[in-house]
Amino acid sequence: MSKLVAVCGATGNQGGGVVAALQRLGGCTIRALTRNPDSVSSKKLAGPGVELVKADFEDPASLDAAFKGADAVFGVTDFWRACGGDAEREKKQGTNLVDAAKCQGVKHFVWSSLEDTRPVLAATRKPLQGTYTVPHFDAKHDIEEYARQQLGDAVTAVYPSVFMENLLPGAGMDPTKQPDGSIALFLPVGQSTLAWCATPDIGAVAAAVIKAGPGEWGGKTVGVAGEHATVQQVAETFSRAFGKKVAAVTPSADDWVQAVQGFGVPKSMAEDLGNMFLFYDTVPMTGLRPLDQTQALHPGAQGLEAFLTAHKDKYAQLFA
Ligand SMILES: NC(=O)c1ccc[n+]([C@@H]2O[C@H](COP(=O)([O-])OP(=O)(O)OC[C@H]3O[C@@H](n4cnc5c(N)ncnc54)[C@H](OP(=O)(O)O)[C@@H]3O)[C@@H](O)[C@H]2O)c1
């Protein structure tokens, strides 16, 4: 039977991936939420089986209308741009999504979540934005807890890894040319293994979970990862993919926070991300984002070398 799926953030990375994957899987009608159905990215989504719906996470009535009759909702919030890096604003948006899903009797709420970093970091790091340690993680986790209180076993939490897209030129975690002409990745995680995912693969995993339904996935958590790699291994993958040496420079988190502010990253963002890297350096991410779980749901999940090769043209200037 065809499912009606309301997809938040449909014009963005994760939601766009959900729409594309649901279209590939078939058997669903998609309601794609956007604040602006006339935007270029909205128009790209239009097509058979996709209905564009104007909705705003800060306008509960628009969410009620968008979720009406939906069997499933994919929920995601945009901490950095749309919420301006404000954890309380992200929580308000996320709880609005949960409230609308409850009000409309949605049977499966698939939430793009992240860990609560406070139990790991609060003893050693000063609080950020009041009571958080990594605000963009903790806020999503608080929304997940609220969703589980309100919707019980209708909730599945999908946990993305570090986006491989962060490694694209200009995206913030990309390798850069040094004054001596060498190329280096500058990230504050020394020995620990990070989990990485390409954003279309988050969509593909979430779509597979939606397709299987709450009977199989309700009440559970799914990690998404295409590869596990240390910063050194990522640098080696760059070197292999582009035939040029890329070095890994791994300062302490505090030194990294200082340094990136010098490159123009706002203090609040640098501190949030610095704590995130400390969290990644403390908690074994490989266990939280098992590769076999992603592969079982989405056998085509990309590894780092495949991702870099697919985006090779974007690095032409750096490796010229
Ligand atoms: N970078 C990483 O490594 C990483 C890892 C894990 C999690 N994350 C999280 O990923 C999230 C961003 O996800 P993404 O990359 O998929 O987002 P994205 O590509 O930046 O897109 C944001 C989407 O949210 C929609 N949106 C924003 N504000 C809205 C509002 N008020 N009402 C309705 N729709 C709204 C936008 O739709 P319209 O503009 O069309 O309205 C757009 O589709 C962030 O919260 C970040 O913390 C990032």
Q: So where are the chain's domains?
A: 3-160+199-224+285-301
Q: How far apart are CA 204 and CA 46, in angstroms?
A: 19
Whether 92 shows a pLDDT value over 80: the answer reads: yes
What pLDDT score was predicted for residue 46? 85
What pLDDT score was predicted for residue 249? 97
From the CA of 90, give the closest atom in ligand 1. 45
Q: Which two tokens stand for residue 295?
A: 């592969």
Q: Which two tokens stand for residue 14?
A: 């994760």
Q: Which residue, judged by its Cα, is nearest atom 36 of ligand 1?
A: 9
Does residue 76's CB lie within 6 angstroms of at least one atom of ligand 1?
yes
From the CA of 9, give the closest atom in ligand 1. 43
User: What integer best gives the mean pLDDT of the chain?
Assistant: 97
- Do the Cβ atoms of 106 and 73 come closer than 8 Å? yes
- Cα four-point dihedral sign 313, 192, 91, 3: positive
Q: How far apart are CA 207 and CA 204, in angstroms?
A: 5
What pLDDT score was predicted for residue 1? 65
| Domain 3-160+199-224+285-301: CATH architecture, name and number where available | 3-Layer(aba) Sandwich (3.40)
Confidence of residue 47 (pLDDT cuts 50, 70, 90): confident
Whether 297 shows a pLDDT value over 70: the answer reads: yes
